[in-house]
Structure 1
């Protein structure tokens, strides 16, 4: 347990944003190769695949330079990652025949400044973020720690299990880019049994072995009209700001769906105009969510009608571009029940087990789960619940490190029993 805690704290100190996880990836590659895993990263892993929603150039250069300063110029791992080709897949064969397992662990952090209050464990014990304005505020440092801990255990017990294991250390979950890209990797096409997990979520101690997440569609919108002087010639203007405001009101007025959970939100709105000018351009970002992909698609189509209606009412033009998508896909019930039985087998109490839970947030592991299930494999998403300080995506987020050991032992036993 001490080794897991030390690993988690080391990665917590050095968080990196989506698509800039250069230092994180390099450190993982080095550790996994030392354990005997075959590791693919960077250009070799990506091939012709391109990251979606990469950060701006300045943010990316700062992250790469920071990693290069710590690792040294010409680092063999780092040099192949230029252009946001972060993350890796580590593979290991057991001693004989058996199924192909896949485990996914996300590795990115968030643009949040970590809290410094003494009540926040990382601040109190000296492992808070050393990168200003960036923080592991969703548990991904714990996820990758479980992945590395699992790798250590599997390497040490290699003669006692059969088959193959692929460990997917995925970048860019927070911007819904890495999941879709990793779902297209050839290693995932081999996987017969796939699992992923998330720490926290429930804010109480639970192990959920059949967790589902709601689907989401996130869009960038721009309204373009005609500028004019608001006092001297208002009749010649075409007001993009008015259209955008009416659209936002219309989005929030959308009827919800009776078949399941549905959500809508506008989280960003910008109009850079003088006070006495009819606005000619307005941009905003909105999202719709649904308990499954069909409900989410219903919300997305209804939202598009609202956008077009507001444009027509004000004689302006509107463009909508997809920023990100999160898929929702049902788990394999058989595998979920096997996970529950295995949890009891390693001594976790029955009172901690929870059959299922639908999280009212989104997770891009849904793309990988869908891919494995569509190719005939089994897949499920777990939650290792615990109280989290301040909640997810907050400056005081934290989790109980005891859960790290639960995750490692549970995944290791599933491989041992499965072979």
Structure 2
């Protein structure tokens, strides 16, 4: 395995490590990133960015898949306790309006032409309990999660750290560059709601060059400059039957549990698609019925995925036939609603190739560079990439590969912090190469 050289800017690395560890301690679930958002707003405004957050940012848009009321209440109360009831950022975020957009113009923008850059950094964590093993660096060095049952187990603490590090450097060099930068600190990537909502923001309509990234993924050191992700559709299903006594009158019942079980079996039996990768999974199944009652209601959540949107649509349509068939066989009804969607969209080759050249410029070894890669997971940045490309801009997704401990979404997840410094330097050079005079 090719090794990653240390980031040459040791002062930058000390700063980024401290920032990352601070945010790693305070993970927040999707749509409840109140404390994270407020702290980002505070620093970005101090750096001179124009910051939009809360109601002013969302306008008439509503979070499409917010958490339950109690989860939200606990998260907001925790943020209030840390920041104080009078914090200026929190009130406008109520109702799960988390995340922000920070904008800065170079001082030469009035006299020199320059592109509008967009950078997206996701900020949410996962309902994962962090390992306390001595081999797990956050636990060993005292920066493990302080929020029980919640953890940055997918690197988003690193993503937002790269965003802050880049913001600090561009603010410091503002007098030397033209153009404009929008920083999208996006909530709710893990439940695929934030990307679709942020794609509709007016700031996205201005973006001409768009970049986003993910740490880890390939479990080895690698800089992938044209990464795409498979599409996904996630659904919540309810089967409605008729209850009756299982011993005394089984003939009067309509068994929703049996129908749901047959549906699940049918979903896993779906044929895959020869044109590319396809997936199906049932991740949640609830039948809250007594043992002696014919079940009248069953709920479950399933997902289908495909290497592109067309394959994913094929899988979704086939799954719908399975659900309808299972319901008809058992004389029950069913309903389905979308919980979340992930879009797959191709990157801009010209921008991806520019990233590769820039990586060499800043000192990353050619042996670590990789061209294209299809990730067998999903990422809602696809909606943002699609938005920029459809309006005539360029966009690409990077992977800053690193060993990741026990793997993504695992209690022992971690990454090599040296990637933080390289990520900042890479994005900074891309901006300066395009706008500096």
Unaligned runs of 5+ in 2: 1-12
The CA deviation at 1:218 is: 0.3
Aligned residue in 1 for 2:82: 70
CA–CA distance in 2 between the matches of 1:246 and 1:79? 47
Q: Within 2, Cα distance between the matches of 1:85 and 1:277?
A: 42
Q: Select between 52-61 and 122-131 the one with higher mean Cα deviation.
A: 52-61
Select the residue among 3, 6, 14 that pairs with 2:26: 14
Q: Distance in 2 between matches of 1:276 and 1:125?
A: 53
Matches within 5 A, 1:123-138: 123-138=139-154
- Tell me the C-alpha RMSD between the 2 structures: 0.6
Deviation at 1:129, TM superposition (A): 0.4
The 5 A counterparts of 1:21-32 are 21-32=33-44
String of CA shifts for 1:282-332, please: whole Å, max 9, x gaps. 110000000000000000000000000000011100101111000000000
Partner residue of 2:10?
none
| Residue in 2 that maps onto 1:48 | 60
Query: Aligned equivalents of 2:71 and 2:237: distance in 1?
Result: 23
Residue aligning to 2:283? 267
Shift of 1:159: 1.6
Task: Establish whether residue 279 from structure 1 lines up as the match of residue 290 from structure 2.
Answer: no
The 5 A counterparts of 1:7-406 are 7-94=19-106, 95-96=108-109, 97-406=113-422
Partners of 1:319 and 1:83 in 2: how far apart? 27
Q: 2: CA distance between counterparts of 1:265 and 1:59? A: 25
CA shift for structure 1 position 273: 1.1
Once the two structures are superposed, residues 196-234 of structure 1 have per-residue CA deviations (whole angstroms, 9 ceiling, x without a partner) of 000000000000000000000000011111111112111
- Cα offset, 1:364, TM superposition: 0.4
The alpha-carbon deviation at position 235 of structure 1 amounts to 1.1
Q: Distance in 1 between matches of 2:246 and 2:26?
A: 50
- What is the alpha-carbon distance in structure 1 between the residues aligned to residue 360 and residue 42 of structure 2? 34
Q: CA deviation at 1:78?
A: 1.1
| Deviation of 1:162 (Å) | 1.1
Using the TM superposition, give the Cα deviation of residue 236 of structure 1 relative to its aligned residue in structure 2, in angstroms. 1.2
Superposed CA offset, 1:348-377 (max 9, x none):
000000001100000000000000000000
Deviation per residue, 1:367-403 (Å, 9 max, x gap): 0000000000000000000000110000010000000
Cα deviation digits, residues 81-111 of structure 1 (max 9, x gap) = 1111100000000123200000000000001
Question: Once superposed, which parts of structure 1, at least 4 consecutive aligned residues long, lie more than 6 Å away?
Answer: none
Q: What SS is found at the alignment partner of 1:363?
A: coil
Moved more, 177-186 or 56-65: 56-65
2:29 alignment partner, SS class: coil
Distance in 1, matches of 2:44 and 2:297, equals: 50
Aligned partner of residue 209 in structure 1, secondary structure:
strand
Task: Structure 1 unaligned segments of length 5 or more: list them.
Answer: none
Hey, what's the Cα distance between the residues in 2 that align with 1:335 and 1:35? 28
TM-score normalised to the size of structure 2? 0.95
Residues in 2 aligned to 1:46 and 1:92: alpha-carbon distance in whole angstroms: 19
Measured after TM superposition, the shift of residue 2 of structure 1 is 0.2
